[in-house]
Structure 1
Amino acid sequence: MNFRNITNRDIVNLENCEDEPIHIPGLIQPHGFLISVDFQTNIINVCSENINNYIDFTYQQLLGKEIKTFFNNTFLSEFNIFKKDTATPFKAFNFSINERLFSISLHHSDNAIIIEGEPTENQFDKDNQLYNSSKQLLSYIEDTSTLKELCNSVVLAIKNITNYDRVMVYRFDAEYNGEIIAESKEEHLEPFLGLHYPHTDIPVQARELYIKNHLRIIGDVDYKPVELFTYNLSPIKTLDLSLSILRSVSPIHIQYLHNMGVGATLTVSLIHKGKLWGLIACHHYSPKYLSQDIRNTVKLHGHFITSQIDVRLLNEQYEIAGRVNAAVERLTSKKLAFNRSSIIELFNEKSIVSLCNSAGVSALIDGELYIYGETPNNEEIQLLGDFLYNYSDNGRFVTSSLSHITSNLKSISEAFPGINYYSLGDETNFIIWYRTPTIKDIHWAGDPSKSIEKDTKGLSPRKSFAKFTENVKDTCKPWLEAELAACSNFFNFFQIHIRSIIINEEKENQKKLSEILKETNAELENINWISTHDLQEPLRKIRMMASTLLRSDTKNPLPENVHNKIIRMQNSAERMQTLISDILKYTKANVDAPDFEMVDLHNLLIQTKEEMNDTLNDTNASLKIEPLPHIKGVPFLLKQLFLNTIYNSLKFSSPERDPIIVIKMEKDSIDEISKSGMYHVIEVKDNGIGFNNAYKEKIFKIFSRLNNKSDYSGSGIGLALCKKIMIKHQGFIDATGTVDKGATIKLYFPKN
C-alpha cells in the first residue's frame, strides 16, 4: 500500500497571513500522536508519522485497517460510547498503552473521529492542589468585587497550579486590540500589566479558532512539526484540526513567539455572549508540558471568569447608577411651574450634568438656548443640532468620538468628542450632553504601526516589544449604560415638562383671548345700545325735519337745488336707519340660539308670503312656493333667512321683466353633497340680473357688494346674515348665477 502526507505546503507570509488556513496544517506537535478514524467504516484513514514513538505500530501498519485491530476492548468501548453519543462533541479519558499512561482525547471532525494521545504523569502533587484550587473558586466571589480584582485572583491561582513564569488576562476592545488587565509573574521578569497589543497580533482566523477550541498549548516553540499521512486510495486531502489539541501552529506565530523570547505557552479563551472577550495567556521561557487534568483546571478558571463578567460589570456600574439616578431624582422631583423660567431653573442645577457625568449640556427650545457647563458656542450648537437631526435614525444619537462620524465639525469634535443627543421633534428643538476629550496615554508592547518589520531576510513579525506610548485625544470616556439610561429618563421627564409648558401657555393665550372677547362683546353691546337709542333718534329727527321742510310752504316752493339736497339728505338718513337695523339683526344671529324645534318650512313660507303681499304687488313679483319639508330650527331665524333671500331677489330683479321667485326642495341631486342624502336642499331661484360665478364667495361676506350701491339699495348685510343663520342650523349656503338670467341660492339643512 502506498502512502502520502496531507501537509499543507501553501506558501504563507506576512502579506497573506490573514488567509492562512491554520485549521488544516496537516501537521501536529510532537508531544503526542493523532489517528483519524472514518465514522462509517471505523477504518484508520489518517495517522501521525510519530505513532511508533508511543505504541508498537508504524503509521504504515495502521492506515487502511480497522481500529479494532490495534486497540483492546477497553479502549474500543470508550470509542464506541463516544461514537454513539453524537450530542457530546468532546471526550477525554486516561488509558495505559504498554504500561505507559496516556491522556486520550476524542472529537468529531467532518466524517471522522479524531483520536489524540499524550503521555501524562502526576505533576507536582496535582490531585490535592487541583482540588484546593477548584474549591477556592467559590471564595473569589466573596473576596473580590470588581472584574479586575477577580482576574488578579485567578491569574495568581493559575500560576500556582501550572508554575508558568507569567500568567496574564488579556482583554479585547471593540477592534480586537488587546490590553493586559491582570498579571502574575516571576519577580525578575519585566511587567506587561497595562500594555496594549494591536489586533494584527491575532488574525481573524486565529480568533475564530479560539472561539471553537477554548484551550491551546505549545509545549516547546522550537518543536519540529510531525506530518500526517493517509493512504493513496483514501479520498482525504485535508483534515480539519480546529478542535485538535496537538494541531501544529502557524510558522508566523512561532516566529512571533521567538521574537518575544517565549519558550512555551498555554492560552485559554474567554468567551462572553458568543464573542471572544479575552484570553488567559500563560508564558514560560523554556519548554513546558501540562497534563490534561491541569489544563482542564485552567479551563475551569477561565469559565469562571466569563461566568462572572456580567455580574462584575454590573457591580462596577452599580455605584455609578446610584449616583446618576439620584441626580435624575433631584431634577424630576423639583416643584416646577409650567413656564419658561422653570427651564432656566433646571439648567441652573449641577445635577443636569452629573446625571451622566458630562462636562456640559445645552438645549434649544423654540429658538431659546439654555446652557450649563462647558459647551460649544451658540452657532456651533445650532450647527451640531442640524447635523445630528439628519444623521440620527430615531432622533437619538450617542458617540464617544465625534470625529469618527464626521470631519465637517472639526472644532466641535476636538473640544467635545463625546455627544449624547436627543431630538425634541425637529432640528430646531433638542438637548445635547457633551464630554471633553480624555487625553490618555496608551502603552503598547512595541509600536503598533510596526507590527510587520522588514530585515535582510524579508518580512517578519515585529521584533521589538519595548513600551511604546501613544497619546490619544479624539475620544472621551465611554458613556456607560447607567448614564445613558439616566439621560433617557430625564429626557422623558423634560419632554413632558415642555409639553406642559406649551399647554399652559395655550391656556393663558385662550384666557387672554377670552378676556378680549368679553371686552369686545361688551363694546358691541354698547354699540347696540347706541344704535338702538342714540343713533335712531337723531336720524328720525333728520327725516322729520326734511319732510317738514318739503311741505312747509306750498305757495313759495323751495329752489330746485335745495329741494334735491333735502331729498338726498332724507334718503341718506333712511339708508342709515336701514343699515343700523340690519346690523342689529346680524349681531342677534351671533347670540346663542334657543333649543331647536321642528319647523314646517312650507307653512312658514306661506305665512311669510302673506306678510309680503304689498311688496310683491308693488313690484309685480310672483312668489311660488312648492312643498317643503319639516326641519329642526329656530322659527324666527328661519323667517329672517327666507325674508333676506326673497328681498335679495327683488332687489336684484331685471328691469326688462317681472320678478319670478321659486322656492322648492331640490329633488334631482347634481352635486356630491346632495347625493350624500344627509341634507334637505332648498332652492331659492329667481330670474333677476344674476351674477358672475367667479364672485360667488364674495356675496356672503358682510358689507360686500357686486354692484354699485347707488344703483341698488341695501347695506350688504343680508346674505352675510343668511350665512350666519345657516351656520346656527349646522348647515351651509351656496349660490350660483348666470349674468342677465338669474341666480339660485341653495340652503343645506341637516336631516337629523
Structure 2
Amino acid sequence: MSSRNSSHIPLDLSSCASEPIRTPGAIQPYGMILVLEHGSLTVKARAIARAEVLEAYGDPLGHPIDRVLGGALAHCRPLLDAMDAGTTQFLGAQAIGAHGAHQVLAHRIGEDVIVELEEPVAGEPGSLEDLYPSIRRFLEAIERAPTLAELCDIAATHIRQLTGLDRVLVYRFDEDWNGAVVAEDRNDVLPSYLDLRFPESDIPAQARELYRQNRVRLIADNNYQPVPLVRAAGDAAAPPTDLSPVSLRSVSPVHLQYMRNMGTGASMSVSLLREGQLWGLISCHNQQPRRVPYHVRTACEFIGQILSLQIALKERALGVEQRIARRAIQVRLLARMAGDQDFMAALGRDQHSLLALTESAGAAIVHRGECILHGECPSQPQVMQLVQWLAAQQHEGDLFFTERLPSLWREADAFADVASGVLAISISQVHDSFVLWFRPEVVRTVRWGGDPRKEATGMLTPRTSFEGWKETVRRQSLPWNAVDRDAALELRAAIVDIVLRKAEEMAALNEQLLRSNKELEAFSYSVSHDLRAPFRHIVGYSELLWASASERLNDSEKRFLDTIVESAQSAGTLVDDLLSFSQMGRSTMGQISMDMTALVEDVRHKLDMEYAGRSIQWQVPSLPRVQADPGMLRLVWQNLLANAIKFTRDTPQPMIEVGHQRSDTEDVFFVRDNGCGFDMRYVDKLFGVFQRLHHSDEYEGTGIGLANVHRIITRHGGRTWAEGEVGSGATFFFTIPFATGDNL
C-alpha cells in the first residue's frame, strides 16, 4: 500500500493486516532522519522535511556524519560507533541553523544507524526535569489507588493534564483482542467513548506487535504530507529500511483515514504491557492537529511504565488471593472425602463448597451411569446427554470449558437459562465419569463503537461510524477464568489420587500442598526478580549520581534525587511486605499450649523503641492460655500493638488496653486505643492487602500488617474484626477457637 496520503484514493482494507507498516519509506514532516551505514557512519538515505536545510547544508547523501548539517553531529560519532543492535539512545538537543534546537535520537537496527532529529515545538519544556512535579503528583496519587479502575482513571487524568489534548482513554484488550475503554478524561470537544468496545480488526496483529515494541507513538496531523526517504544511488536496490523505532515514521493511510472518520486531527498512544505482553493502550486524541513535545511524550511513557507495573502487581496479588481462597475451599472438600469410598456422596455433603470452588450456580457428578445434581442444573437426562457429547469431543487434557455452550452444541439451547456455561473435568480413563459445573445465561448489553458485524470487502475506506452500537448478548454465561479452571483441575487430581486410585490420603494432600507452594514460590520469585531489582537500581544509580555530581546540582535537583530514592525505597518495602504476606500462607503451623500474657508482655517489651520518650498508659490483664502457633501469634500481637502505638502518636494522653472475653466456643482477644480511629464505612477494607485508611505522609506503613493478622487468625480457625470512630480510637478483635477440653 502506498505511503502517500490522499483522502480520495480508495484503500484496500483486505491487505491492511499485511501492509509494510515498519518500512513505509517516508516520515512525518516534523524533522528529518539520516540512515547511516554502521561501519563508516556514512549517510546512505535521508528524509528531510525542509528544503531550506538542503539548501543551507547540501545533500548529506554519501557523506560521513562529521560533515553533514554543517558538522552539527560530529560530536555524536563516538556514541554512534558504540551503539549495540536493537538499541535507542537520546543524544540531547542540537541547534540546526535557524530552525531551533532539534531533539536528537539514534536507533541501531541491524547494520543501520538511524539518526532522528525532531523539530522543536513552541513553548515546549526544556527538559524532563521541568515535568517532574507532574510526574510526582501522579506517583503520589497511585499510591492511594486501591483498585485497577482507579489506577486507570488517575493515569488518564494526569496524561491529559500533561499533554493538553482533548480526550485521553485507557483501552484494554480482551482475550480475543477486542478493546474496551475502561477509563476516560476529556473536555467537551470530542464525544465520550467510555465503556465502548472496538473490534479486533481496528488494530491488526502486526500493529499490536509494533505497539508492544514501541511504547509511544504520535500522529500530529491526520492530513500531513509524508516526506519520502531518498536513498544514495548505490543503495537503490537494497531492501526497504526498517523504521520501526523512529518517532517520525509515517503511518498507514488507512489509519489516517480512520482518524479523519473519528474526527480526530491528532492522536498519541502509550502502550501498557503486562509481563512483556500488550495489556492495553493509553489512547489520546485532539480534534485539531497538535504536536506533543518530546519531553512530554517521555513523561507520558514513564507514567505508562509505572501504570504497567501497578497493573501487573495488582492483578498478581488479586490472583494469588483468589487461589488461596479456592484452596481453602478445596481443603474443606478433601476433608469431607477423607476416608469415604463414595466420593460422590462425600462431595455432595458440602454443596456450598462444591459450587464455590468454581463460583458456579450448579454442579453435577456423573460416575458409572449415576448422576447427582447440586444447585441449578439441567435435568438428569440432559446432563447425561451432555456427558455423552463431551466424551466424543476432542479437547486437550482432562478439562473442557466454554461460556457459549449453545453455540457449540445445538441441544444445549434447551437449557441455556441454567447452563450456557459449562466447566467439566474427566475423572476416569475407563468410564464416562465427569464433574461438571454450570453457569446460567447472563443477558447483557454490550456497547460497541460502531457495528462490529460490518466487514470490509474490496476497495473501501475505513468505517465511518463510531456511534455507540448496542448488541444484546444472549446464550452466554460469565467466562471461566484461569483461577476457576485451575481449581477444577486441582480437584480432579485430588479425586483421582485419593478416591479412584485409592492412593494414600495424606500423600495426595501433600501433593496438592506442594503444588500450591510451588506456585506461591514462583510468584515470590517473580515479584523479587521483576520488581525488587529495578527499585535497587533506581536507588543505586541515584546514589551514584549524588556522589558524582552533587556539587553541580542545585537544591531543587538534590530534592528530586532524594524523592526518587525515598519513593524507590518505599516501593521496595511494599514488595518485601508482599513477599512476607505470600509466605505466610505456606508456613507450617505448630500449635502448642502457650501463655498469652507472657507473649503480650514480651512483644510490648520489644516495641519499647517504638514509643521511646512517650508516656503511654498500658492496661494488660491476665490472659488465658491458648492452643496456637507461638510464632504466628507473636506476629499478630506485634502488628496490633505496633498499630496502637503508631495511631496514638498525636493523642495527648495515649492509652492502650489489651483485653479478653470468652464465649462458648472461643477466646476473644482485643487491643483498644484512644488514637485517631477510623471511619466505620471503610471497615471492610482494613484487613485487605495494601488497604490503608490514612495517607502515608501521616502514618507510615504499607497496608500488609492487618492482612497478615487476618490470614494468621483464619488459619487458626478464628475471626477478625474491628470497631472505631474518627478521633475516638479503635478496637481490633481476634478469636482463637477452643482446643478439646479448653472450655470445660
Q: Normalising by the residue count of structure 1, what TM-score does the alignment of the two structures yield?
A: 0.60
1:94 partner letter: A
Aligned to 1:83: 81
Output the CA distance in 2 between the equivalents of 1:295 and 1:102: 15
In the comparison of the two structures, how many residue pairs are matched? 496
| Residue number among 62, 77, 87 corresponding to 1:64 in the alignment | 62
1:119-198 matches, cutoff 5 A: 119-121=119-121, 122-123=123-124, 130-187=131-188, 189-198=190-199
2:425 partner letter: Y
Aligned to 2:18: 19
Aligned to 2:467: 466
Contact map agreement 1:107 1:115 (CA 8 A) in 2: yes
Structure 1 residue 451: Cα displacement: 5.3
Structure 1 residue 243: Cα displacement: 1.4
Pair 1:46 & 2:45 matched? yes
Structure 1 residue 51: Cα displacement: 4.3
Pair 1:102 & 2:102 matched? yes
Structure 1 residue 414: Cα displacement: 6.9
What SS class does the counterpart of residue 14 from structure 2 fall into? coil
Contact map agreement 1:26 1:238 (CA 8 A) in 2: yes
1:488-527 matches, cutoff 5 A: 488-495=489-496, 498-499=499-500
Output the CA distance in 1 between the equivalents of 2:504 and 2:48: 85
Structure 1 residue 356: Cα displacement: 1.5
Contact map agreement 1:145 1:315 (CA 8 A) in 2: no
Contact map agreement 1:110 1:240 (CA 8 A) in 2: no
Greater CA radius of gyration, 1 or 2?
A: 1
Structure 1 residues 116, 339: closer, same or farther in 2, change over 3 A? closer
Output the CA distance in 2 between the equivalents of 1:337 and 1:108: 66
Structure 1 residue 372: Cα displacement: 0.4
Contact map agreement 2:333 2:350 (CA 8 A) in 1: no
Q: Deviations over 1:292-336 (max 9, x none)?
A: 111111111111222223322134445644554443344333487
Structure 1 residue 345: Cα displacement: 6.8
Pair 1:450 & 2:454 matched? yes
| Residue number among 382, 385, 410 corresponding to 2:384 in the alignment | 382
Structure 1 residues 319, 440: closer, same or farther in 2, change over 3 A? farther
What SS class does the counterpart of residue 254 from structure 1 fall into? helix
Output the CA distance in 1 between the equivalents of 2:187 and 2:294: 24
Structure 1 residue 6: Cα displacement: 10
What SS class does the counterpart of residue 39 from structure 2 fall into? coil
Output the CA distance in 2 between the equivalents of 1:201 and 1:134: 31
1:372 partner letter: H
Structure 1 residues 503, 35: closer, same or farther in 2, change over 3 A? closer
What SS class does the counterpart of residue 229 from structure 2 fall into? strand
Contact map agreement 1:363 1:371 (CA 8 A) in 2: yes
Structure 1 residues 81, 336: closer, same or farther in 2, change over 3 A? closer
2:266 partner letter: A
Structure 1 residue 232: Cα displacement: 2.8
Pair 1:245 & 2:247 matched? yes
Structure 1 residues 490, 228: closer, same or farther in 2, change over 3 A? closer
1:32 partner letter: G
Percent identity among equivalent residues? Answer: 28
1:631-646 matches, cutoff 5 A: none
| Residue number among 287, 297, 305 corresponding to 1:295 in the alignment | 297
Q: Normalising by the residue count of structure 2, what TM-score does the alignment of the two structures yield?
A: 0.61
1:345-384 matches, cutoff 5 A: 346-347=348-349, 349-384=351-386
Pair 1:431 & 2:435 matched? yes
Aligned to 1:420: 423
Structure 1 residues 169, 370: closer, same or farther in 2, change over 3 A? same
1:233 partner letter: G
What SS class does the counterpart of residue 78 from structure 1 fall into? helix
Aligned to 2:219: 218
Structure 1 residues 231, 386: closer, same or farther in 2, change over 3 A? same
Q: Deviations over 1:421-464 (max 9, x none)?
A: 1222134322111112222211001111225499xxx6211111
Aligned to 1:645: none
Aligned to 1:117: 117
1:714-733 matches, cutoff 5 A: none
Output the CA distance in 2 between the equivalents of 1:153 and 1:438: 31
Give unpaired runs (5+ residues) of structure 1.
505-752
What SS class does the counterpart of residue 485 from structure 1 fall into? helix
What SS class does the counterpart of residue 95 from structure 1 fall into? strand
Aligned to 2:594: none
Contact map agreement 1:106 1:114 (CA 8 A) in 2: yes
2:84 partner letter: T
What SS class does the counterpart of residue 35 from structure 1 fall into? strand
Output the CA distance in 2 between the equivalents of 1:453 and 1:259: 18
1:332-731 matches, cutoff 5 A: 332-334=334-336, 338=340, 340=342, 343=345, 346-347=348-349, 349-390=351-392, 391-403=394-406, 405-407=408-410, 409-411=412-414, 415-425=418-428, 426-450=430-454, 452=456, 459-495=460-496, 498-499=499-500
Contact map agreement 2:427 2:495 (CA 8 A) in 1: no
What SS class does the counterpart of residue 310 from structure 2 fall into? helix
Contact map agreement 2:66 2:77 (CA 8 A) in 1: no
Aligned to 1:265: 267
Output the CA distance in 1 between the equivalents of 2:343 and 2:298: 66
Structure 1 residues 437, 91: closer, same or farther in 2, change over 3 A? same
Structure 1 residues 30, 307: closer, same or farther in 2, change over 3 A? same
What SS class does the counterpart of residue 301 from structure 1 fall into? helix
Aligned to 2:716: none
2:118 partner letter: E
Contact map agreement 1:129 1:161 (CA 8 A) in 2: no
Structure 1 residue 410: Cα displacement: 4.6
Output the CA distance in 1 between the equivalents of 2:431 and 2:344: 22
Structure 1 residues 331, 234: closer, same or farther in 2, change over 3 A? closer
Structure 1 residue 12: Cα displacement: 5.1
Contact map agreement 1:146 1:315 (CA 8 A) in 2: no
Output the CA distance in 1 between the equivalents of 2:48 and 2:472: 52
Structure 1 residues 498, 66: closer, same or farther in 2, change over 3 A? closer
Output the CA distance in 2 between the equivalents of 1:501 and 1:258: 68
Give unpaired runs (5+ residues) of structure 2.
506-744
What SS class does the counterpart of residue 461 from structure 1 fall into? coil
Structure 1 residues 146, 362: closer, same or farther in 2, change over 3 A? same
What SS class does the counterpart of residue 294 from structure 1 fall into? helix
Query: Cα RMSD over matched residues?
Result: 3.3
Structure 1 residues 402, 6: closer, same or farther in 2, change over 3 A? closer
Structure 1 residues 322, 467: closer, same or farther in 2, change over 3 A? same
Output the CA distance in 2 between the equivalents of 1:29 and 1:345: 66
Structure 1 residues 115, 439: closer, same or farther in 2, change over 3 A? same
Contact map agreement 1:104 1:115 (CA 8 A) in 2: yes
Contact map agreement 1:401 1:474 (CA 8 A) in 2: yes
Structure 1 residue 487: Cα displacement: 3.0
Structure 1 residue 107: Cα displacement: 0.7
Contact map agreement 2:26 2:226 (CA 8 A) in 1: yes
More off after superposition, 292-301 vs 395-404: 395-404
Contact map agreement 1:338 1:500 (CA 8 A) in 2: no
